[in-house]
Amino acid sequence: MKRPTLLFLLLFSTSILWSQIDSISPEQEASWQAAAQWDKVDEISTADIRKYTTEARYCTPMVSYIPEHATVPSPRDFLGHIIGAEGHLTRVADEYRYLEALAKASPRVKIEELGLSEEGRRMILLLIADEETLANLDQYRAYTAQLADPRTCDEKLATEISGKAKPIMTINGGLHSTETGPPEMLMELAYRLAVSEHPDIVDIRNNVITTIIPVMEPDGRDRVVDWYYRILKDYDDIEYMPDRSPPYWGSHAYHDNNRDGLQMTLRLTQTYDEMFYRWHPQYALDLHESVPLMYVSTGTGPYNEMIDPITVHEWQWAANWEIAELSKQGLPGVWTWGFYTGWNPGYLMWMTNNHNSMGRFYETFGNSVPKTMEREIDGRDAAGTRITERDWYRSTPPDKKVMWSLRNNTNYMQSGVLSSLTLLARNGKTFLFNFWKKGANSYHKGMDESPYGWYIPAGQAAKDRTSYLINQLQRHGIEVHRAMDNINLEKDTIQKGDFVVRLDQPYANFARTLLSDIIFPKEAKYRPYDDVSWTLGKVYRVDTHPIKDKAIFKATALEQLSGDVVLEAKKESGRVFVIPHDGSNSLIGLRYAIKGYPAYAADTAFTVDGKDFPAGSMIIRNDRGLEPLLTEAAKKAMVDVFAYRNMPAVSMHELDLPRVALYHTWTYTQPDGWVRYSLQQAGIEFDYINDEAIKAGKLRQKYDVIMVADQRGGFKRMVQGRDPKFGPQPFTTTDDFKSQGSIDASEDITGGIGFMGLANLQAFLNEGGTLMLFGGAGELATESGLLRNVSSRSGVTTPGSALTTMIMRPDHPITYGFPDVNYVFRINGPYYSVPEQYEHWIVMQYGTQIPERLEGKMKKPEGKGDKLLLTGFISGEQQLQKQGAILDIPRYEGGRVILYSFNPLHRHLNVGDQNYVFNAILNWNDFPEPKVDGPEGLKVD
Residue 320, pLDDT > 70, answer: yes
| Residue at which a domain ends, from 612, 631, 654 | 654
Rounded to the nearest integer, the mean pLDDT of the chain is 96
**Is 90 exceeded by the pLDDT of residue 15?**
no
pLDDT band, very low/low/confident/very high, at 866 (cuts 50, 70, 90): confident
Residue 10 confidence (pLDDT): 35
Give the count of beta carbons closer than 10 Å to the beta carbon of residue 560.
Answer: 12
Rounded-to-integer distance, Cα 50 and Cα 20, Å: 5
Phi then psi for residue 316, to 5 deg, are -65, -45
Neighbours of 564 (CB within 10 A): 11
Q: State residue 21's pLDDT score.
A: 64
- Domains of the chain: total: 4
Q: Is residue 2 part of a domain?
A: no
Model pTM score = 0.96
Q: Which domain holds residue 673?
A: 660-939
CB 586 within 8 A of CB 684: no
Using CA atoms, how far apart are residues 874 and 833, in angstroms rounded to an integer?
18
Phi, psi of 785 (to 5 degrees): 95, 0
- Higher pLDDT: 713 or 605? It is 605
**Do residues 832 and 933 touch, judged by C-beta distance below 8 A?**
no
Neighbours of 200 (CB within 10 A): 17
Q: What is the CATH number of the domain that holds 293?
A: 3.40.630.10
Lowest-pLDDT choice from 505-514, 541-550, 858-867 = 858-867
Same domain? For 805 and 674 the reply is yes
Tell me the mean pLDDT in the region 790-800: 98
| pLDDT beyond 90 at 8 | no
In 10 A of CB 388, how many CB atoms? 18
End-to-end distance of the chain based on CA atoms, in angstroms? 83
pLDDT for residue 860: 84
Per-residue confidence (pLDDT) for residue 384, from 0 to 100: 87
Of the residues 440, 458, 476, which one is the last residue of a structural domain? 440
What is the average pLDDT across 4-21?
Answer: 41
Q: In this prediction, what percent of the chain has a pLDDT beyond 70?
A: 98
What angle, 0 to 180 degrees and rounded to 10, lies between the N-to-C axes of helices 428-448 and 309-328?
160
394 and 528 co-located in one domain: no
5: confidence class by pLDDT, cuts 50, 70, 90 = very low
| pLDDT tier at 641, thresholds 50, 70, 90 | very high
**Percent of the residues in the chain that have a pLDDT greater than 90, as a whole number:** 94
Is residue 407 assigned to a domain?
yes
- Residue 155, CA atoms < 13 Å, CB-side half-sphere: 5
Give yes or no for residue 663 having a pLDDT over 60: yes
Express each pLDDT in 228-264 by its tens digit. 999 999 999 999 999 999 999 999 999 999 999 999 9
For residue 823, the surrounding DSSP H or E stretch is strand 821-826
- In this structure, what DSSP letter does residue 399 have? P
| Domain containing residue 612: CATH number | 3.30.70
Gap between the Cα atoms of 791 and 783, Å rounded: 8
Q: Note whether residue 618 is domain-resident.
A: yes
pLDDT in tens, 329-380: 999 999 999 999 999 999 999 999 999 999 999 999 999 999 999 999 998 8
From 391, 410, 440, the end of a domain falls on 440
672 and 592 together in one domain: no
Q: Quote the pLDDT of residue 19.
A: 40
59 within some domain:
no
Detail the DSSP E strand segments found in 179-270: 209-213
CB 48 within 8 A of CB 86: no
DSSP letter, residue 507: T
Residue-level pLDDT at 7: 36
Q: What is the largest CA-CA distance in the chain?
A: 101
Give the pLDDT of residue 861: 85
In angstroms, the CA 462 to CA 456 distance is 12
Same domain for 132 and 226, yes or no, is yes
**Per-residue DSSP letters for 896-928?**
EEEEESS-TTSTTT-GGGTHHHHHHHHTTT-PP
DSSP readout, 338-353? SS--S----STTHHHH
pLDDT at 546: 98
Taking 90 as the threshold, does the pLDDT of residue 528 lie above it? Answer: no
In a domain, 35, yes or no: no
pLDDT in the model for residue 127? 99
180 Cβ neighbours under 8 A, 6+ residues apart? 89, 224, 225, 228, 289, 366, 368, 369, 370, 406
Three-state SS for 661?
strand
Confidence of residue 655 (pLDDT cuts 50, 70, 90): very high
The radius of gyration of the chain's CA atoms, rounded to the nearest angstrom, is: 30
Residue 3 in any domain: the answer is: no
Q: Do 289 and 167 reside in the same domain of the chain?
A: yes
Has residue 23 got a pLDDT over 80? no
Q: Are residues 535 and 600 in the same domain?
A: no
Q: What is the pLDDT of residue 527?
A: 84
3-state helix, strand, coil in the chain (%, to 5): 35, 20, 45
Of 245, 184, 507, the closest CA to residue 357 belongs to: 507
Please check whether residues 883 and 815 belong to one and the same domain: yes
The per-residue pLDDT for 529 is 86
Residue 399 burial by Cβ neighbours in a 10 Å radius (0-12, 13-18, 19+)? middle
Instruction: For residue 19, tell me if it sits in a domain.
Output: no
Q: How confident is the model at residue 863 (pLDDT cuts 50, 70, 90)?
A: confident
**Mean pLDDT, residues 7-19:** 39
Interval 86-112 mean pLDDT: 99
Q: What pLDDT is recorded for position 22? A: 60
715-724 as b/e: b if 16+ CB within 10 A: bebbbbbbee
Chain CA centroid to CA 340, Å: 15
Kindly tell me if the per-residue pLDDT of 20 is higher than 90: no
**Region 827-841 average pLDDT:** 98
Examine the domain organization and report whether 434 and 504 are in the same domain: no
Same domain, 531 and 405: no
Residues in contact with 862: Cβ distance below 8 Å, sequence separation at least 6, in sequence order: none
Q: How confident is the model at residue 483 (pLDDT cuts 50, 70, 90)?
A: very high
Q: Write down the pLDDT at residue 6.
A: 36
Which residues does 680 contact at the CB level (< 8 Å), separation at least 6? none
In a domain, 27, yes or no: no
Co-location of 602 and 556 in the same domain: no
Give 18's pLDDT tier (boundaries 50, 70, 90): very low
Residue 280 predicted with pLDDT over 70: yes
Claim to verify: residue 639 and residue 733 sit in the same structural domain: no
User: Are residue 650 and residue 757 in the same domain, yes or no?
Assistant: no
When pLDDT is averaged across residues 749-777 and rounded to a whole number, the result is 99
For residue 546, how far is the Cα from the chain centroid?
28
